[in-house]
Amino acid sequence: MINGAAISVNTAQHLYWFGRYVQRVQTMLVEMLECYDHVIDRDFEYGNKFFEKLGIQAEYKNGLDFLNVGVYGAHQGSIESIIKMARENAIETRHLLDERGFATLNKIYNHLSEGRNRAAISPTHLEEIVDNCSLILGIFSSELDRTRAYQLIRFGQQIERFDLILRLYGEIEMVTADIDVVNNIARQLNRHYRPINVTTSDIPKFLVFLNGVVDRVIHNKGCVPGSSQSQSS
């Protein structure tokens, strides 16, 4: 049996959320750096519009303060809190994760926690975190013997990508173009999975639909009756 091939429901959910949170950090930071560029000398309100799209209520005084609020602000969408959740999921699944990937994430977390009360955060520092997120997600793609764990992470990444595209840009076409990517991963993860098609242009409806896709891949309501298999270790 491939190392870690038998993955429990709990572990699968943590892998999936690990993928989602790391992807969320990466995308959010890229978007925040883009906003920062606008806020400092083009459109001060640009940052507020960004926060609004994500349902975040926050105020800032200048470009660096915008970044600081985005990273450390007292709201659910702060980068610090997302990193914390990514790390929690990584701790739960570290037996299936690459050690360098885990350590890189943990270092980001330690660094952000330590820097909380120091001087304002710099764009360069945030760019480093973006690079490290790419590194973390990239490392897992080279892990040949942990295929299912990697696919669960990728699955989370893709769902998060769709979620952010819809929330930030409202473009359902961008999602429909990539729906086969999700279908392919889902089929690899669960042979009972039936591919989906996008038949709605209603974004809130589609977001609910996406959650349904996840439930069809990761069964969190116990085992399927009569599905027992005997496997030698």
Partner 1 sequence: MIEPVCPELQKFYDIFDSVDQTKVSEFKDFLEANAVNFNLFKEGNFIERSFPFDVIPRIIPKSEFDELEAGIIQRVKALNAFLNDIYNDQKIVKDGVVPREYVDSAKAFLPEFMGVNPPKGVRTHISGIDLVKDAVSGKWVILEDNLRVPSGVSYPLTIRRAFRHTYPEFFESMKISKIKHYGDELKAAMDYVNTGGLNVVLTPGRYNSAYYEHSYLAKITGATLALGDDLIVENDEVYLCAYNGEKLRVGAIYRRLDDDFLDPEAFEPDSLIGVKGITKAYRAGNVAIMNSIGNGVADDKGIYYFVPEMVKYYLNEEPILSNAPTYLPYYEKDREYVLANIDKLVIKDVAEAGGYGVLFGNRLSPEKRAEIIEMILAEPRRWIAQEVIEFYDLPCMMEGEILPRKADLRAYVIYGEKVTVSMGGLTRYAMEEGNYLVNSSQGGGFKDTWVVEL
Pick 15 or 165: Cβ nearer partner 1: 15
Q: Indicate the length of the chain as a whole number.
A: 233
Select from 25, 112, 152, 166 the one that contacts partner 1 (CB under 8 A).
Answer: 152
- Is the CB of residue 189 less than 8 Å from the CB of residue 215? no
Judged by CB under 8 A, how many residues of this single chain contact partner 1?
A: 41
Pick 8 or 199: Cβ nearer partner 1: 8
**What is residue 62's DSSP assignment?**
S
The overall longest dimension of the chain from CA atoms, in Å, is 64
- Is the CB of residue 95 less than 8 Å from the CB of residue 18? no
Please tell me whether residue 142 binds partner 1 under the rule CB under 8 A. Answer: no
Contacts of 32 (CB under 8 A, 6+ apart): 50, 66, 67, 70, 79, 126
- Is the CB of residue 22 less than 8 Å from the CB of residue 141? no
Please tell me whether residue 143 binds partner 1 under the rule CB under 8 A. Answer: no
Question: Min. distance of Cβ 25 from partner 1 in angstroms?
Answer: 18
- Is the CB of residue 108 less than 8 Å from the CB of residue 101? no
Select from 192, 195, 200, 207 the one that contacts partner 1 (CB under 8 A).
Answer: 192
Please tell me whether residue 132 binds partner 1 under the rule CB under 8 A. Answer: no
Would you put residue 226 in left (φ > 0), alpha (ψ -120 to 50) or beta? left
Pick 62 or 81: Cβ nearer partner 1: 81
Select from 61, 107, 116, 167 the one that contacts partner 1 (CB under 8 A).
Answer: 107
- Applying the rule CB under 8 A, the residues between 45 and 84 that interact with partner 1 are none
Amino acid at 221: K
Question: Min. distance of Cβ 201 from partner 1 in angstroms?
Answer: 31
Residues near partner 1, by CB under 8 A: 1, 3-4, 6-13, 88, 91-92, 94-96, 99, 102-103, 106-107, 110, 152, 189-192, 217-219, 222-224, 227-233
